[in-house]
Amino acid sequence: MTFIRGIKACAVAVAVSALAAGCGGSTTTAQGKDEPSVKGTPFGRPVSSPAAATTADPTITPSPSDGAPLIGALKYELRQRTVKMAGAPGRTSARCDRDSVAAAKGSKITCTVTYEGIKVTWPVTIEGPAMGGLEVKYQAKPSTGILTKKGAQAHFWNEEHDYGSHLRCDDMPALKTVPLGKKTGYRCTYLTKSETDGRPLWIPEDLTVRDDGPYFIASY
């Protein structure tokens, strides 16, 4: 519902490049079998901390003035939601198939937001006034997801850099459309320690794009 407001890895001396390759070592179990000293396999390229502008809440200017028509506020918010979905700042514009929309329950309008040349259609259904008439509830779901390399890597860094190290991601295009809420085929990984035996462990995660931005889920 949305509202519009009026290990340590191996030995200390081992280089990071050796760590990324699994350190090349092994551990002998009580049964005498050799096991890798690092669980899992790294992939992709190193990811560095993102620029502050990438992680900030989307800011669209100019914002509609108080008392502006509902259509103006709606266009503004859909542009904000499109930037949030992409996860990175970008040039946006919006147009709708009608010049106005009533705040009454059941009113419908279709708006298209253009983000860096990609068009995203938002069919909107108004659900009526809320908060004493200060807000209008509506439902809207985008026609497609937008993947940005900056947005995905920034989200991955923010989510995981406190839990592990050596963050890495598959090569990704700078910008592309993807099915909403489905695996994109791109993955990221980070190094942590196994909760069971304390050994270094690479955690792989699959990237999806939801209407509120990039999303990662562990894949084993």
Q: What is the pLDDT of residues 132-186, one digit of tens each?
A: 556 899 999 999 999 999 999 999 999 999 999 999 999 999 999 999 999 999 9
Helix or strand run (H / E) with residue 191: strand 183-193
Q: What is the pLDDT of residues 5-35, one digit of tens each?
A: 543 333 333 334 444 444 444 444 444 455 5
Burial 172-199 (b: 16+ CB within 10 A, else e): beebeebebeeebebbbbbbbeeeeeeb
Q: Which three-class secondary structure state does DSSP give residue 118?
A: strand
Task: Say how far apart CA 8 and CA 5 lie, in whole Å.
Answer: 50
Task: Say how far apart CA 69 and CA 75 lie, in whole Å.
Answer: 10
